[in-house]
C-alpha cells in the first residue's frame, strides 16, 4: 500500500511539473523608438481547487505610464524627483492591441483602478480546476529610461526587466499588486519559448538557453528556451559593448557583469567556483544550466560598507569586494529563481537564508576580517571599538540603528509598507541575525539541516513561509514559537537586565528582568577577567526570573556577552560579583561604536562660525555613539578666534519611545549656551523643555505632530550701552503639524508666548503642490497677534516683516545684529517672510502675510508677498513685494532677487546687490536631513 501511495505521489507531482504554464513570445525591438512589438501566447494552467471566472496578468511595464501610478507615487514618497520631472518619452508604457482566445476574437479586459499595471480578463467560460486556457496577446511596450530603476534603455543598451506580460499567481485568491520598485514581481513558473528580432549588430544576454538564430537583411532573430522559469531579464547590447562575462563552475555557468577590473580572470573563477561549491553544499544543486547576476540587481541591494568607499580607498584585501558581492548576488539569484515564495509578503525567508549564508561564508573564508577592513590598523582609528568589530557585526549594527530610532518594522510586514532603509537594509539584516540567534539557541546542525531540507523539498514547487516554520519546528528539540510569533511577526524589542546578584554558598542567584513584553530567551554568562567561565540559556522570562549558577572563579555575570542576540540595550547587562564597578569608565577620541562593556565618554573637536565670534573651535565632551541612545549629554566649550572669548553650549536630554503608537516619543531636557550677538557682546540662554511627539504608526506616512513646552531665559551683556530691552524670561507653548511629501507638502504651527511685559500668539501654515505638468506652487501664511504688549518703545519683541529679531535665539543667523552688508541679507523663512526690506519692518500689535511662488523654468521661480502690518497709533499698512527666486535646493540653498515692491522698481536702484537675499545652510544636522529623508 505504501509503495502504491509513493508511486501515486510521484505520478501526481510529475504531472504537475509537466502541466506548467507556457509562454510563447515573439518580440521585435525598435532601437530608434526604444520599443518592443510583441505577439504572445500564454497557456495558463489552473492548478487550484477553484473555478476561475477571471484571469489576472502582470503588466508591470505599464507602471511607468504616468505620474499617478503606484510606482510614481512610490518615487514621490522616496523623494526620487527624476521620474516626475522626466520627459514623456523617457517613461514607459504598454499599449494593448488585442487579447483573445482561439474561440473568442476579443476578450473583455480592464485595468483595476488601483492597479494600472495589472490586467483583469473576463473568461468566456469559467476555468475548471486542472484545465488550461490559451490567451493570445498583441501589444506594444515603450521601454523606460534606466535612470529610474537601473533597468531600461541607456546609451544604445536595453536592460529589460518586467518587459513582458505574465500571469499572476492564484493561491485561494489572486496575488496581485503593483510595481513599487521593490524587485518583487510574483508570477508562476512557466516554460518559455522566445523569438527576439533585433538589429544585426546587437546581441542578447539572458539566463535562458540559446537555441538558434535566423538572419534576414540587417536584422536577426534570436531563439531562446527555458523550462520552469520566471521573471526573465534580458540585456540587449551592441556587439563588442557588452560587459558580461561567462565563468564556468562545476554545476552551472555564471553570466555576470559585476566587475572588478583589478582582479585576474583566474581569481574571479576561483571566487565564483568557491561560492558555487559553498551554496551547493548548504542548499543543494541549482536546477538550471545558467545563472545570471547583474550589476543592476546588486546596486539595488549591495553589501553596504563595501560599496560606500571610493576605489582610491581599498581597506579590504584584493578580491574580497568582488567575492562578497558575487556571493550576495549569486545567493539572491539562486533563491529567487527556485523558491516560489511571495516576495512581497514573505521576503524575510529569502533574507534569513541569504544573510545567514553570507555570514557563514565570511566566517569560513575571512574569519579575521574586520568591519572596516585594514582601516582598523590605521593609527587614527585603531584604538576605537569600531576597529574591533568583526565584518559580520555590521548586520546587527545596521538593524539596531533603526530600532534605536524607533523606526524598525516587523519582518512579516509587506514590503511595500516598509520604509526604504528597512526594505533595503535593516529587515534583511534582522532576518539573517535572527537565524544566528536561533542557531545559538538550538545549535547549528538543526538550523542548517532545516534550511537544506527546505530548499530540497520545495525547490521549483509552490511554497510559503509556514512550510519553512514547520520544518524548523520539526527539527528542533526546544520550543521556538517565540521566534515566529514575536521575532518575525512583530517588532518587539529584546531587552534584558540583571537586577541583582546574590551569593549563596558556592552558588550565585542571578535575577534577570525582561524589560519588554515578550517571551524570547537570553544567554547568561559567568566571567573571570572577561573570559567566559560558564554560559546557559534562560527561557520564559515574562517579568523577573532568578536562576542559580556556580560561583567558582566568577567576578562578573553578564547577559548576551557575545552579542549574538540583537538586544536593544546591552549597556545594563553586566553585574559585579567581586569587582568594584559593573563597568569601567572609558575615554575615547572622536565618535565610536557602542561598547556595552564600558561607560564611554567621547572627546572630539567641534567647529562653528558667526560673524562676531569668527571661527570657533573647542573640545566636545559627550556620550553619543554611532547608535543613538535615549539619554544624551554634550558639553562643548569653544574659543572664538575673533572674539577671543570662551563660548559654547551644554545640553542633555532623555527620551522615552513608544513603538507602534501614535504617541511616538517623550523627550525632556535642558540646554544652555553662550555666544556673541554683536561685537564684544554676549548672550546666555537657558532652556528646560519637554516635547511630545505624535506620529502615524504607518511609518511610510510622513504625518507628524509635536507639542512642546519650554522656558527660555536670556541674559545679555551690554544692554545698557545699547539702551535695549532688559534680560527676559519667556514661557513658550508650541504645536506643529507636518506632512511632508514631494507632491503635497503641508506644515502648520501655532505658537504662544508669555513674558512679564508681553504675550503673543502666532500661526504659520505652509503648502507646496507639485503638479503633473511640473509646475510647483508654494503658499505660506503667517498671522501674529499681541495679547498684551508693554514693549512698544522697542521692536525687539515685535513681529518682523522680513527679518525676525530672534530674541529667543532659535535661528542660525551668521550675523544677527547686522543692519547692512552681506550678513544682513541672510533670509530666514519665519514670521512675515518678506524678501524686500520695507517700512514698517515690525508690528507691535498684529501682522498677517501671505508668501507665494511658482516656478517658471526648472529651479527659477517668481515670488510675491502680500501683508498687513498694524502698529500702535497707526492704521494697518498694506505691504507687497515680488521678485525672482532661484531655488537650487529647497530650504537649503536659495537666492531671492527683488523686482517690484512698495518701494517701486527695486531692480533699477544702484545698490541692488545689497537687496539680494539668500538662504544658505551650513549646519551639518540640517544638511544630513536633506540626504536621509528618502531613507527614513
Neighbours of 654 (CB within 10 A): 13
Handedness of CA 128, 129, 135, 141 (dihedral sign): positive
In the structure grid, which three cell numbers stand for residue 526, read together?
A: 559567568
Closest CA to 178 of 85, 68, 297, 84: 68
In the structure grid, which three cell numbers stand for residue 792, read together?
A: 512698544
- Whether residue 6 has pLDDT greater than 50: no
- Whether residue 158 has pLDDT greater than 90: yes
Residues 80-113 have pLDDT tens digits of 989 999 999 999 999 999 999 988 888 999 999 9
In the structure grid, which three cell numbers stand for residue 89, read together?
A: 518619452
- Whether residue 191 has pLDDT greater than 90: yes
Q: How confident is the model at residue 772 (pLDDT cuts 50, 70, 90)?
A: confident
Closest CA to 554 of 593, 516, 498: 498
CA distance 226 to 192: 5
**Stretch 566-595: mean pLDDT:** 86
Residue-level pLDDT at 79: 87
Is the CB of residue 323 less than 8 Å from the CB of residue 348? Answer: no
List, in order, residues 6 or more apart from 84 with CB less than 8 Å away: 67, 72, 75, 76, 742, 743, 770, 774
- Whether residue 453 has pLDDT greater than 50: yes
CA distance between the termini of the chain: 59
CA distance 809 to 686: 11
Is the CB of residue 887 less than 8 Å from the CB of residue 861? Answer: yes
CA distance 461 to 520: 33
- Whether residue 203 has pLDDT greater than 50: yes
Closest CA to 710 of 696, 684, 692: 692
Residues in the chain: 936
Is the CB of residue 329 less than 8 Å from the CB of residue 298? Answer: yes
Q: How confident is the model at residue 14 (pLDDT cuts 50, 70, 90)?
A: very low
Query: Which of these ranges, 224-238, 257-271, 307-321, 334-348, has the smallest mean pLDDT?
Result: 307-321
Neighbours of 700 (CB within 10 A): 15
Closest CA to 331 of 303, 357, 295: 357
Q: How confident is the model at residue 641 (pLDDT cuts 50, 70, 90)?
A: very high
**Stretch 314-322: mean pLDDT:** 82
Q: How confident is the model at residue 929 (pLDDT cuts 50, 70, 90)?
A: low
104 phi, psi to nearest 5 deg: -120, 125
- With H, G, I as helix, E, B as strand and everything else as coil, classify residue 229: strand
In the structure grid, which three cell numbers stand for residue 383, read together?
A: 584604538
Provide the strand spans (E) within 217-354: 219-229, 234-238, 245-248, 253-256, 290-293
- Whether residue 3 has pLDDT greater than 50: no
Query: Which of these ranges, 443-452, 810-819, 858-867, has the smallest mean pLDDT?
Result: 810-819
Q: How confident is the model at residue 884 (pLDDT cuts 50, 70, 90)?
A: very high
Residue-level pLDDT at 91: 94
Neighbours of 61 (CB within 10 A): 26
Average predicted confidence (pLDDT) for the chain: 92
**Stretch 826-853: mean pLDDT:** 96
- Whether residue 487 has pLDDT greater than 90: yes
In the structure grid, which three cell numbers stand for residue 16, read together?
A: 504537475
List, in order, residues 6 or more apart from 844 with CB less than 8 Å away: 786, 789, 791, 792, 795, 798, 799, 871, 872
Neighbours of 199 (CB within 10 A): 14
**Stretch 918-934: mean pLDDT:** 67
Is the CB of residue 26 less than 8 Å from the CB of residue 10? Answer: no
Residues 777-793 have pLDDT tens digits of 999 999 999 999 999 88
Residues 377-431 have pLDDT tens digits of 777 787 888 888 999 999 999 999 999 999 999 999 999 999 999 999 999 999 9
Cell 523558491 appears where? 339
**Stretch 687-713: mean pLDDT:** 96
224-248 residues labelled b (16+ CB within 10 A) or e (exposed): bebbbbbbbbbbbbeeeebebeebe
User: What region does 117 belong to: left with phi over 0, alpha with psi -120 to 50, or beta?
Assistant: alpha
**Stretch 481-487: mean pLDDT:** 97
CA distance 543 to 530: 28
CA distance 304 to 572: 29
Q: In what order do the strands lie in the sheet with 290-293?
A: 245-248, 253-256, 290-293
**Stretch 760-789: mean pLDDT:** 95
Closest CA to 416 of 431, 429, 427: 427
Is the CB of residue 317 less than 8 Å from the CB of residue 383? Answer: no
Q: How confident is the model at residue 597 (pLDDT cuts 50, 70, 90)?
A: confident
- Whether residue 5 has pLDDT greater than 60: no
CA distance 79 to 76: 5
Closest CA to 819 of 802, 794, 797, 843: 802
Query: Peptide bond preceding 224: is omega within 30 degrees of 0, i.e. cis?
Result: no
Q: How confident is the model at residue 857 (pLDDT cuts 50, 70, 90)?
A: confident
Cell 532603509 appears where? 421
Longest Cα–Cα distance in the chain: 107
Q: How confident is the model at residue 845 (pLDDT cuts 50, 70, 90)?
A: very high
Q: Determine the distance from the C-alpha atom of residue 168 to the mean position of all C-alpha atoms in its chain, rounded to a whole number.
A: 28
Residue-level pLDDT at 4: 36
Q: How confident is the model at residue 462 (pLDDT cuts 50, 70, 90)?
A: very high
Residue-level pLDDT at 9: 37
463-468: which pairs have CB atoms within 8 A and are 24 or more residues apart? 463/339, 463/340, 463/341, 464/171, 464/341, 464/342, 464/346, 465/341, 465/345, 465/346, 465/348, 465/349, 465/412, 468/349
Strands 842-843 and 209-216: unpaired
The Cα angle at residue 789 between residues 785 and 794, in degrees rounded to 5: 105
CA distance 263 to 258: 12
- Whether residue 583 has pLDDT greater than 60: yes
Residue-level pLDDT at 585: 85
- Whether residue 717 has pLDDT greater than 90: no
Cell 549629554 appears where? 633
- Whether residue 307 has pLDDT greater than 90: no
pLDDT above 70 covers what percent of the chain?
94
Q: Which of the 8 DSSP states describes residue 567?
A: -
Q: Which of the 8 DSSP states describes residue 390?
A: B
Is the CB of residue 800 less than 8 Å from the CB of residue 831? Answer: yes
- Whether residue 10 has pLDDT greater than 50: no
Is the CB of residue 906 less than 8 Å from the CB of residue 899? Answer: yes
Closest CA to 454 of 340, 585, 371, 593: 340
Cell 521661480 appears where? 861
Closest CA to 28 of 238, 232, 236: 236
CA distances (Å), 207 to each of 201, 240, 333, in order?
21, 19, 11
CA distance 214 to 223: 8
CA distance 888 to 845: 36
Provide the strand spans (E) within 46-87: 52-58
pLDDT above 90 covers what percent of the chain?
80
Which carries the bigger pLDDT value, residue 78 or residue 470?
470
CA distance 320 to 369: 10
| Secondary-structure breakdown of the chain: helix, strand, coil percentages, each rounded to the nearest 5 | 20, 40, 40
- Of all helices (H) and strands (E), which one includes residue 334? helix 320-336
Residue 586's beta-bridge partner residues?
Answer: 600
Q: How confident is the model at residue 201 (pLDDT cuts 50, 70, 90)?
A: very high
Residue-level pLDDT at 108: 93
List, in order, residues 6 or more apart from 228 with CB less than 8 Å away: 17, 20, 189, 190, 191, 287, 288, 460
Residue-level pLDDT at 387: 87
Q: How confident is the model at residue 471 (pLDDT cuts 50, 70, 90)?
A: very high
Q: How confident is the model at residue 924 (pLDDT cuts 50, 70, 90)?
A: low
Amino acid at each position: 500500500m505504501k509503495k502504491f501511495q509513493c508511486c501515486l505521489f510521484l505520478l501526481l507531482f510529475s504531472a504537475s511539473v509537466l502541466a506548467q504554464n507556457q509562454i510563447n513570445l515573439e518580440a521585435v525591438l525598435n532601437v530608434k523608438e526604444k520599443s518592443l512589438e510583441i505577439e504572445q501566447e500564454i497557456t495558463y494552467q489552473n492548478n487550484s481547487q477553484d473555478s476561475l471566472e477571471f484571469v489576472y496578468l502582470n503588466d508591470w511595464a505599464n507602471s511607468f505610464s504616468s505620474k499617478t501610478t503606484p510606482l510614481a507615487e512610490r518615487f514621490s514618497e522616496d523623494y526620487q524627483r527624476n521620474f516626475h520631472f522626466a520627459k514623456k518619452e523617457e517613461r514607459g508604457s504598454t499599449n494593448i492591441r488585442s487579447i483573445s482566445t482561439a474561440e473568442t476574437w476579443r476578450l473583455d479586459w480592464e485595468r483595476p483602478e488601483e492597479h494600472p499595471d495589472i490586467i483583469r480578463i473576463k473568461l468566456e467560460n469559467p476555468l475548471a480546476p486542472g484545465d488550461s486556457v490559451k490567451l493570445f496577446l498583441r501589444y506594444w511596450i515603450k521601454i523606460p529610461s534606466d535612470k529610474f530603476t537601473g533597468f531600461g534603455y541607456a546609451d544604445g543598451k536595453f536592460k529589460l526587466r518586467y518587459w513582458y506580460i505574465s500571469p499572476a499567481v492564484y493561491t485561494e485568491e489572486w496575488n496581485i499588486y503593483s510595481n513599487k520598485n521593490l524587485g518583487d514581481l510574483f508570477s508562476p513558473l512557466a516554460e518559455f519559448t522566445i523569438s527576439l528580432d533585433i538589429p544585426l549588430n546587437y546581441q542578447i544576454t539572458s539566463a535562458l538557453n540559446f537555441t538558434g538564430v535566423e538572419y534576414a537583411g540587417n536584422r536577426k532573430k534570436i531563439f531562446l528556451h527555458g523550462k520552469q522559469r520566471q521573471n526573465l531579464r534580458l540585456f540587449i547590447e551592441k556587439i563588442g559593448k557588452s560587459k558580461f562575462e561567462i565563468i564556468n563552475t562545476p554545476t552551472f555557468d555564471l553570466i555576470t557583469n559585476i566587475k572588478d577590473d583589478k582582479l585576474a580572470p583566474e581569481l574571479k573563477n576561483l571566487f565564483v567556483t568557491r561560492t558555487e561549491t559553498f551554496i551547493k553544499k548548504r542548499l543543494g544543486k541549482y536546477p538550471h544550466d545558467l545563472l545570471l547576476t547583474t550589476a543592476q540587481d546588486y546596486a539595488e541591494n549591495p553589501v553596504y560598507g563595501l560599496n560606500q568607499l571610493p576605489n582610491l580607498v581599498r581597506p579590504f584585501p584584493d578580491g574580497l569586494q568582488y567575492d562578497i558581492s558575487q556571493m550576495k548576488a549569486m545567493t539572491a539569484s539562486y533563491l529567487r529563481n527556485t523558491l516560489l515564495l511571495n516576495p512581497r509578503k514573505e521576503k524575510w525567508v529569502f533574507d534569513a537564508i541569504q544573510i545567514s549564508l553570507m555570514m557563514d561564508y565570511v566566517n569560513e573564508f575571512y574569519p579575521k576580517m574586520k568591519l572596516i577592513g585594514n582601516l582598523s590598523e590605521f593609527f587614527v582609528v585603531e584604538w576605537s571599538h569600531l576597529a574591533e568589530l568583526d565584518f559580520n557585526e555590521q548586520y546587527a549594527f545596521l538593524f539596531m540603528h533603526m530600532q534605536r530610532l524607533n523606526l524598525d518594522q516587523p519582518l512579516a510586514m509587506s514590503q511595500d509598507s516598509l520604509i526604504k532603509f528597512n526594505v533595503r537594509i535593516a529587515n534583511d539584516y534582522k532576518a539573517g541575525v535572527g537565524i544566528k540567534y536561533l542557531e545559538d539557541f538550538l545549535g547549528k546542525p538543526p538550523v542548517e539541516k532545516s534550511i537544506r531540507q527546505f530548499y530540497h523539498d520545495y525547490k521549483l514547487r509552490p511554497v510559503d513561509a509556514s512550510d519553512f516554520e514547520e520544518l524548523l519546528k520539526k527539527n528542533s528539540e526546544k520550543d521556538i514559537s517565540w521566534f515566529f510569533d514575536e521575532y518575525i511577526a512583530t517588532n518587539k524589542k529584546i531587552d534584558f537586565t540583571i537586577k541583582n546578584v546574590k551569593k549563596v554558598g558556592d552558588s550565585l542567584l542571578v535575577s534577570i528582568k525582561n524589560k519588554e513584553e515578550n517571551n524570547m530567551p537570553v544567554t547568561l554568562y559567568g566571567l573571570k577577567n572577561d573570559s567566559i567561565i560558564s554560559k546557559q540559556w534562560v527561557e520564559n522570562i515574562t517579568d523577573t526570573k532568578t536562576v542559580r549558577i556556580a560561583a567558582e572563579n566568577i567576578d562578573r555575570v553578564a547577559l548576551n556577552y557575545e552579542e549574538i542576540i540583537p538586544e536593544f540595550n546591552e549597556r545594563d547587562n553586566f553585574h559585579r560579583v567581586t569587582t568594584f564597578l559593573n563597568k569601567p569608565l572609558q575615554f575615547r577620541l572622536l565618535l565610536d561604536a557602542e561598547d556595552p562593556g564600558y561607560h564611554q565618554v567621547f572627546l572630539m573637536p567641534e567647529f562653528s562660525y558667526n560673524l562676531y565670534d569668527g571661527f570657533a573651535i573647542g573640545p566636545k565632551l559627550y556620550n553619543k555613539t554611532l547608535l543613538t541612545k535615549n539619554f544624551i549629554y554634550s558639553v562643548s566649550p569653544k574659543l572664538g578666534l575673533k572674539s577671543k572669548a570662551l563660548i559654547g553650549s551644554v545640553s542633555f536630554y532623555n527620551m522615552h519611545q513608544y513603538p507602534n503608537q501614535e504617541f511616538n516619543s517623550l523627550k525632556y531636557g535642558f540646554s544652555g549656551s553662550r555666544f556673541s550677538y554683536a561685537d564684544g557682546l554676549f548672550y546666555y540662554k537657558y532652556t528646560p523643555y519637554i516635547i511630545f511627539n505624535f506620529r502615524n504608526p504607518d511609518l511610510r506616512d510622513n504625518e507628524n505632530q509635536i507639542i512642546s513646552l519650554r522656558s527660555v531665559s536670556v541674559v545679555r551683556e551690554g544692554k545698557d550701552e545699547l539702551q535695549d530691552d532688559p534680560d527676559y524670561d519667556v514661557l513658550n507653548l508650541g504645536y506643529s503639524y507636518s506632512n511632508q511629501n514631494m507632491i503635497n507638502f503641508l506644515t502648520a504651527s501655532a505658537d504662544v508666548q508669555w513674558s512679564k511685559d508681553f504675550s503673543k500668539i502666532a500661526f504659520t501654515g505652509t503648502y507646496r503642490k507639485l503638479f503633473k505638468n511640473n509646475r510647483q506652487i508654494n503658499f505660506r501664511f503667517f498671522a501674529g497677534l499681541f495679547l498684551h504688549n508693554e514693549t512698544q518703545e522697542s521692536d525687539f519683541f515685535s513681529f518682523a516683516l522680513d527679518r525676525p529679531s530672534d530674541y529667543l535665539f532659535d535661528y542660525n543667523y551668521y550675523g544677527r545684529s547686522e543692519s547692512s552688508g552681506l550678513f544682513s541679507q541672510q533670509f530666514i523663512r519665519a514670521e512675515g517672510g518678506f524678501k524686500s526690506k520695507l517700512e514698517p519692518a515690525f508690528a507691535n500689535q498684529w501682522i498677517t502675510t501671505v508668501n507665494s511662488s511658482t516656478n517658471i523654468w526648472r529651479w527659477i521661480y517668481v515670488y510675491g508677498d502680500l501683508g498687513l502690518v498694524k502698529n500702535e497709533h497707526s492704521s494697518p499698512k498694506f505691504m507687497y513685494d515680488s521678485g525672482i527666486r532661484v531655488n537650487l535646493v529647497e530650504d537649503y540653498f536659495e537666492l531671492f532677487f527683488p523686482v517690484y515692491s512698495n518701494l517701486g522698481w527695486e531692480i533699477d536702484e544702484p545698490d541692488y546687490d545689497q537687496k539680494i537675499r539668500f538662504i544658505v545652510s551650513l549646519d551639518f544636522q540640517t544638511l544630513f536631513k536633506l540626504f536621509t529623508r528618502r531613507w527614513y
